Structure 1
Amino acid sequence: MSKPTLTDLNAFKAVAEQRSFRRAADLMGVSRSSLSHTVRTLERRLGTRLLHRTTRSVSLTESGERLLQRLGPLLGELDTLLEEASSHEGKLTGRLRINGSEAAIRLLLQRVVPQFLALHDAVELDLVAEGRLVDIVEQGFDAGVRLREAVPKDMIAIPIGGDLRFLAVASPGYLKGKPILETPGQLALHRCIRQRLPSGKLYRWEFQKHDQEVLADVPGAMTLDSSQLMVEAAADGLGIAYVPESYAHAYLREGKLVTVLEDWCPHIPGLHLYYPNNRHVPPSLRAFIDLLRE
């Protein structure tokens, strides 16, 4: 029996983690048919089936589960070893994968990425922006970027960008002739633009004044899943939106929006880059973190 190649093992790992030949092929930059052939070759070499395939899904066999459990850490260590070997020559190489929200990735692109690529042009940055919170270890990421409250407790977290604030905003036109807002409870008298989270749940607006906290399930005839769209809808007079201050800043400066309940809108810990505390940190991630701290 010929031994499996590193290409075979990486192909299996990608399909097993993604539970999809299509997503794994996109991730690896190969065709689905080529990836399927590679995995079948691996199964033939090992003499066992690793994946259950249907037209709609992919799942692991018992043998596949055992192989993936041992293979992930080994390939991760191999990548780190190769990266460290090349870095001894003074040049970082390899791929650095970071997952985060769209706002988080945008912040990295503005503040860190240009300088990082200028210093380490042989490193491939793979930045994935998505709303849903993923397990970065399971999905093969080196790090993630989320609000501090969303970072798993077993991760090392590094602040970037400082604290942030959510603001309730509306257009002057919408507020004209409407009841004055002094407490979150009075939002029941208004039309609000609600937000649907990536999980599918509706976001309940969080307010705090001194020691008093209020979680408001606001009324509204419209729900959106984008802070940018919510700001635009509010500027068009469609209701009150509750969004990160950075999204509303330009509209507030131009007078298209004004804040309401501002004394109920506290600052909260902002975005943090995080990574597992029980793994060796790859040199490329360490270099990225050093730039963040600078």
Structure 2
Amino acid sequence: MPLSRTDLADYSYFLAIARHRSFRRAGLDLGVSASALSHALKGLETRVGIRLLNRTNRSVTLTAAGEELLAAISRPFDDIEQAVDRLNRYRDTPTGRIRINIPVEAATLLIGPILREFVDRYPDVELDVAVSNHLVDVTEGGFDAGIRYGGTVPTDMVAQRLSADIRWVVAGSPAYFDRYGTADHPDDLAAHRCLRFRIGDDSIYKWEFERAGEEIAVDVPGSLIFDDSRAILAALVAGVGLMYAPEPLIAPLVANGSVRLILEDWAPVGSGFYAYYSSTRQLPTGLRLLIALIREMRPLGL
């Protein structure tokens, strides 16, 4: 029997649910309510006579049949998406939708500065940006690509450099230094109030320092732990504690005198930002244009 329109739509819904492992996230991706997806999936399972998903209040997993179906139809649907995307060559203005997952610092320092130009050049390309410092599997999450610091890019992905390497510095407000003094060596941080940071794998980041070949990682003290640099910046300016940060993030605060740097002779240089995406899929036109524009405008150098 030939596939009906309903079958094709429901198989595409199944793919989204299987990749996201969530009706809610799949619905957000597709612009369809979670209840509509659930109804469509039940109809598909009834027609094929096999359960494809195991559903609980907390999780969605694939049955063995669902895993087999996902493996069988993922490539054909990807081929269709790529074929439609290639039609952009025949349009005066590219169209399409791209979804990327990026950390807070990349949103502020890398994507923000190029957005106006991107929209002006490509008004028909929809850019969906998920900002999160948690490490995610961009393929399973339904993203076209992610942006991360070079050292955290998965090794099985294709990566493109988007920025120059970045220096990491320690900063504090004048009010903080008036109250608690400064530090001349990383070991001196043991006597300070530090604003600690929870990174993507849920561990607390150790502040790293380097001078003349000597490398030190300090598990700094501090009663405040954040997972968002915007919250740390607010606490930094308020004089709550010291912050360890990529220098471009706090450069405006240094320039206007809101904060000062210390331990500059210990400041290490780390990998800059990279875009990464699956090696098994053709690069969507919109993503290719976004990467090209970032590399052209160089908001963080290159």
Common fold: TM-score over 0.5: yes
1:187 to 173, 178, 189: 189
Residues 227 and 244 of structure 1 are in contact (CA less than 8 Å); yes or no, is this contact kept in structure 2? Answer: no
Residues 147 and 270 of structure 1 are in contact (CA less than 8 Å); yes or no, is this contact kept in structure 2? Answer: yes
- Offset of residue 179 of structure 1: 5.6
Residues 133 and 228 of structure 2 are in contact (CA less than 8 Å); yes or no, is this contact kept in structure 1? Answer: no
* Structure 1 residue aligned with 2:3: 3
**Unmatched tracts of structure 1, length 5 or more:** none
* Structure 1 residue aligned with 2:74: 72
Name the amino acid aligned to 2:148: R
Name the amino acid aligned to 1:272: Y
Residues 228 and 247 of structure 1 are in contact (CA less than 8 Å); yes or no, is this contact kept in structure 2? Answer: no
2:250 to 248, 260, 266: 248
> Secondary structure in 2 aligned to 1:161?
coil
* Structure 1 residue aligned with 2:300: none
Q: Does 1:21 align with 2:23?
A: yes
Q: Does 1:118 align with 2:120?
A: yes
- Offset of residue 106 of structure 1: 3.4
- Offset of residue 122 of structure 1: 2.5
- Offset of residue 67 of structure 1: 1.1
Residues 20 and 140 of structure 2 are in contact (CA less than 8 Å); yes or no, is this contact kept in structure 1? Answer: no
* Structure 1 residue aligned with 2:139: 137
Give the Cα separation in 1 of the matches to 2:102 and 2:182. 38
- Offset of residue 275 of structure 1: 2.0
Please show how residues 159-238 of structure 1 align to structure 2 within 5 Å: 159-176=161-178, 178=180, 180-238=182-240
Task: Report which stretch shifted further, 262-271 or 120-129.
Answer: 120-129
Give the Cα separation in 2 of the matches to 1:177 and 1:112. 40
Name the amino acid aligned to 1:135: D
- Offset of residue 177 of structure 1: 6.2
2:275 to 263, 273, 276: 273
- Offset of residue 145 of structure 1: 0.9
> Secondary structure in 2 aligned to 1:112?
helix
Q: Deviations over 1:80-127 (max 9, x none)?
A: 011113433444222112111122233454343333333333222222
Q: Does 1:263 align with 2:285?
A: no
- Offset of residue 280 of structure 1: 2.2
- Superposition RMSD in Å: 2.1
TM-score normalized by the length of structure 1: 0.91
- Offset of residue 183 of structure 1: 1.4
* Structure 1 residue aligned with 2:108: 106
Q: Deviations over 1:9-47 (max 9, x none)?
A: 121112112222222222222222211111112112222
Residues 206 and 220 of structure 2 are in contact (CA less than 8 Å); yes or no, is this contact kept in structure 1? Answer: yes
* Structure 2 residue aligned with 1:43: 45
Q: Deviations over 1:140-169 (max 9, x none)?
A: 222111111111223332222322222111
Name the amino acid aligned to 1:43: E
- Offset of residue 174 of structure 1: 2.2
> Secondary structure in 2 aligned to 1:63?
helix
Name the amino acid aligned to 1:79: E
Q: 1:138 to 1:201 in 2, by over 3 A?
A: same
Name the amino acid aligned to 1:151: V
* Structure 1 residue aligned with 2:33: 31
Name the amino acid aligned to 1:11: Y
> Secondary structure in 2 aligned to 1:105?
helix
**Unmatched tracts of structure 2, length 5 or more:** 297-302
Name the amino acid aligned to 1:127: V
Give the Cα separation in 1 of the matches to 2:206 and 2:286. 38
Larger RCO (CA under 8 A, 6+ residues apart): 2
- Offset of residue 187 of structure 1: 0.9
Q: 1:72 to 1:105 in 2, by over 3 A?
A: farther
* Structure 1 residue aligned with 2:299: none
Residues 145 and 271 of structure 1 are in contact (CA less than 8 Å); yes or no, is this contact kept in structure 2? Answer: yes
Give the Cα separation in 2 of the matches to 1:117 and 1:31. 28
Residues 2 and 45 of structure 1 are in contact (CA less than 8 Å); yes or no, is this contact kept in structure 2? Answer: no
> Secondary structure in 1 aligned to 2:257?
coil
Q: How many residues align?
A: 294
> Secondary structure in 2 aligned to 1:279?
coil
Residues 99 and 127 of structure 1 are in contact (CA less than 8 Å); yes or no, is this contact kept in structure 2? Answer: yes
> Secondary structure in 2 aligned to 1:166?
strand
- Offset of residue 247 of structure 1: 3.0
Name the amino acid aligned to 1:150: T
- Offset of residue 173 of structure 1: 2.6
Residues 109 and 248 of structure 2 are in contact (CA less than 8 Å); yes or no, is this contact kept in structure 1? Answer: no
- Offset of residue 69 of structure 1: 2.1
* Structure 2 residue aligned with 1:59: 61
Task: Report which stretch shifted further, 116-125 or 33-42.
Answer: 116-125
TM-score normalized by the length of structure 2: 0.88
Name the amino acid aligned to 2:155: K
